[in-house]
Amino acid sequence: MIVLAGTIGAGKTSLTQMLADHLGSKPFFESVDDNPILPLFYKDPQKYGFLLQIYFLNRRLDEIKDSFDNDLNVLDRSIFEDALMFKMNADLGRATHTEADIYTSLLGNMMEELPDQAHQKAPNLLIHIRVSFETMLNRIKQRGRSFEQIENDPSLYQYYKTLNQRYQSWYEAYDKSPKMMIDGDQYDFVADPQAAKVVLEQIDSKLSALNLK
């Protein structure tokens, strides 16, 4: 499978659909708008953080299994990002480190239960969309989900800033599969068709180098 990675507002969902259409494969999307726990988490992260991560883990494992039929199927989020998110929540006091450790252990055990084929446990390619903190904030504001807005919860400013910083370090350390980075500031592939064409060409080149296309 191919998985997209990136912080909130990076454009993962949009690029997932574009890439699946381009490759003639199937897109798999993270559950957000129909996620019953996510709004509760933003209101009380300490209470709902662990439940939210278990919800995402369950959904993402289903997506991984459903995507087995085609190596070019596209998932709009990597399961490997979840441990990053939860560890950060624990460091910020929005969850406990015990909960984060239990989640990390559970993730490892669940991944071991997947069929023993390397391309099914890790993606064929991870595509990280890097955006600046300023772009991230603008995208969050533009899409208008009330529970994500800083004006409704000023503490989210530091949360988003820390998240953006940690994603850079996470990508640099990621070693589960081949990877590539898309500059989401330079290429606004959602609004600019020419930028979208360049990004798809970059991905095609990487897939060809990996003998996936």
φ, ψ of residue 75 in degrees (nearest 5): -105, 135
Q: What CA–CA distance (Å, rounded) separates 16 from 188?
A: 14
Annotation-wise, does 13 bind a ligand? yes
Which of 21, 33, 69, 76 is the catalytic position?
76
71 is annotated as an active-site residue: no
Residue 6 among known ligand-binding residues:
yes
127 labeled binding residue: no
Question: Is position 149 annotated in a ligand binding site?
Answer: no
108: annotated binding-site residue? no
Q: Is 7 annotated as a binding residue?
A: yes
16 labelled binding-site residue: no
Question: Is there a binding annotation on residue 150?
Answer: no
- Specify whether the CB–CB gap between 177 and 126 falls below 8 A: yes
Rounded CA-CA distance 78/94 in Å is 22
208 annotated as ligand-binding: no
The 10 Å CB-count burial string (b at 16+, else e) for 57-79 is: bebbbebbeebeeebbbbbbbbb
CA distances from 70 to 58, 60, 124, 176, 180 (A): 21, 16, 11, 19, 20
Give binding residues for ATP as ranges.
6-14, 139-143
Residues that constitute the known binding site for substrate: 30, 42, 53, 77, 82, 148
Which residues are known catalytic residues?
76
Specify binding-site residues: 6-14, 30, 42, 53, 77, 82, 139-143, 148
